[in-house]
A and B are shown apart, each in its own frame.
Chain A
Amino acid sequence: MKEEPVRAPARLLPVAVMIAGILIWAALSALRVFPESAFPSPLSVAAGFVEEIKTGRLFNDLVASLFRVTVGFLLAAASGIPLGLLLGNQLPARVALMPAINFFRNLSPLAWIPFAILWFGIGDIPAIFLIFMASFFPIVLATIAAVATIPAVYFRAARDYGIRGGELFRKVTLPAILPQVITALRVTAGLAWVVVVAAEMIAGRDGLGFAIWDARNGLRMDLLVAGMIVIGIIGVVIDRILVQLTKLPSVRWGYER
């Protein structure tokens, strides 16, 4: 049930893997497997990093991307979870809307990019729109599934102890779906972070996606890799933050079966 404590040498393993990865990278670049212009060395990437930090561009892009992801994702969660709750409880509405929701869920949000630009121009809003389109449908679907699968025994027990109305929602429905909803939020946040990069490449004038697109246009592969590294690290950090939600004592039951 509990995670086994990892011994100190085992903790160092990921660091060792990372160092090995950088060494292989350095070797491939030193051996000129690809030309330097197409395969920047670790050192030139490090130099690019320093440059980006000094000019303040990296920080600005990071803030821009995080802002868009946060707003788009929160809007999707704030509207998707209530809609999912509603549909989970209303069979006719669910039957009516499920095919449409499934349709949009399976439609790549990137397909909306042309419309996003036509409707909202360039900047924050098209990116937020695309992140919303990427996050909203999976959150709705996961919430519907969570509500629809709450074991009936909880509602029967609630009735035996006189829990009804708004209290039933707060004390039974909501806590019963929380573990599944948290999992859906984690998956969706990862999706949103992938989408913001793509959105900014085309519909942005700043942000990490724009930064790597700009680096590519300027043939600065060192800056491109620096951007990629930041994107990967931030993605991991976002998931680490959301994983904290799964550590709340009242949702642990959903992950330990």
Chain B
Amino acid sequence: MNDKPLRLEAVCKSFGAVEVLRDFSLEIARGEFVAIVGPSGCGKTTLLNLFSGFDKPATGKVFTSGHIRMIYQQGGLFPWQTAGENIRLALRHIKDPVEQQRQLQEMLDLIDLDSFAGHYPHQLSGGMRQRVELARGLAGESDTLLMDEPFSSLDYLTRLRLRQEFARMLGERPRTVVLVTHDIEEAAQLADRVVVLSERPARIHCQLHLDLPRPRDLTHPEVVGAVHRILTEMGLEADTRDSLAAKINP
């Protein structure tokens, strides 16, 4: 596998008259967790679709390597299969039934839904469904997870809990992650690098690196500082960095 499993090179993409990407380049290192934030409709989801191969660029190049999976906002589970069967989809390549069962059990334990394996998605709460979706994405062999607003349909507390759970799961099963979100706190709490996009056609407005290990507290000064920086960059918060920094580190 190569060092740079995901790369966009001078990509242009339009939908009809709407130019979404113009000359856009982005490189994501193996094992890196990159969050992409930006105004709605700026082309965040298009980036994921380019990486997944669902969309093709008009010009420019897309390089990917390894097995890529997408985790959806909601409704990506097959409703005609139980939670366990859905996760088992990701373990299809394992021919030995005993080993397959063992790994399924491991994933169920990881999301703490062991007793719900036989339930169908419509019988689970939104948070449980999303946990199953995460487990399916992380089960078995894959290299990259593309996540499109995976927590946005959940209530605030469930979202916070799942974020931490996902960070913990990722610790046990490292993956390259590209997370598209409009939730800036989520980006700052999870990502190694936050890419802030501009309005359409999207370009990289700025990037932010966070070296903090995961899971991180939402109120960790570095996370708070990053949120402040991103909001400021997006023009949503007046730049009072010095006064804020003074409050955090007196």
Binding site for B on A (CB under 8 A): 151, 153-154, 156-157, 160-163, 171-172, 175-176, 178, 249-254, 256-257
Contacts and interface: CB of A to CB of B under 8 A. Distances in A.
A249 B118 CA distance: 11
B122 interface: yes
Question: Would you list the 5 A-B pairs with minimal beta carbon distance, nearest first?
Answer: A253-B79, A175-B80, A161-B89, A250-B80, A160-B69
Interface string B8-51: 00000000000000000000000000000000000000000000
Contacts of B72: 153, 157
Contact of A252 (B70, B77, B90, B122): B122
Interface of B: 52, 54, 68-70, 72, 75-81, 89-90, 92-93, 120-122
A156 B70 contact: yes
Contacts of A154: 78
B69 A251 contact: no
Contacts of A162: 92-93
B contact patch SS: loop
Contacts of B75: 151, 153
A59 to B, nearest CB: 41
Contacts of B76: 153, 156-157
Contacts of A171: 78
Nearest to A171: B78
A257 B122 CA distance: 8
A157 B120 contact: no
A158 to B, nearest CB: 8
Contacts of B89: 161, 163
A53 to B, nearest CB: 45
Interface centre among A151, A178, A253 (most CB of B within 10 A): A253
B121 A157 contact: no
Contacts of A176: 80
13 contacts: A151-B75, A153-B75, A153-B76, A156-B54, A157-B70, A157-B72, A161-B90, A161-B92, A162-B92, A178-B80, A250-B80, A252-B122, A256-B122
Give the secondary structure class of A's interface.
Answer: helix
A257 B75 CA distance: 12
A160 B70 contact: yes
Contacts of B69: 160-161
B87 to A, nearest CB: 10
A251 B80 contact: yes
B78 A175 contact: yes
B70 A253 contact: no
A254 B75 CA distance: 13
B100 to A, nearest CB: 14
Contacts of B78: 154, 157, 171-172, 175
Given A156-B54, A160-B69, A252 B120 contact: yes
Contacts of A252: 120, 122
Contacts of A156: 52, 54, 70, 76
Contacts of A175: 78, 80-81
A124 B52 CA distance: 57
Contacts of A250: 80-81, 120
A171 B79 CA distance: 11
A176 B133 CA distance: 18
A176 B79 CA distance: 8
B85 to A, nearest CB: 9
Contacts of B93: 162
Contact of A253 (B54, B90, B92, B122): B122
A163 B81 CA distance: 14
A254 B92 CA distance: 26
Nearest to A163: B89
Nearest to B119: A249
Nearest to A160: B69
A257 B81 CA distance: 16
Contacts of B54: 156
B127 to A, nearest CB: 17
A252 B120 CA distance: 9
A194 to B, nearest CB: 32
A257 B120 CA distance: 13
A199 B90 CA distance: 53
Contacts of B52: 156, 160
A248 to B, nearest CB: 9
Contacts of A160: 52, 68-70
Contacts of A163: 89
Given A153-B72, A156-B52, A161-B90, 4 more contacts: A157-B72, A160-B69, A175-B81, A250-B120
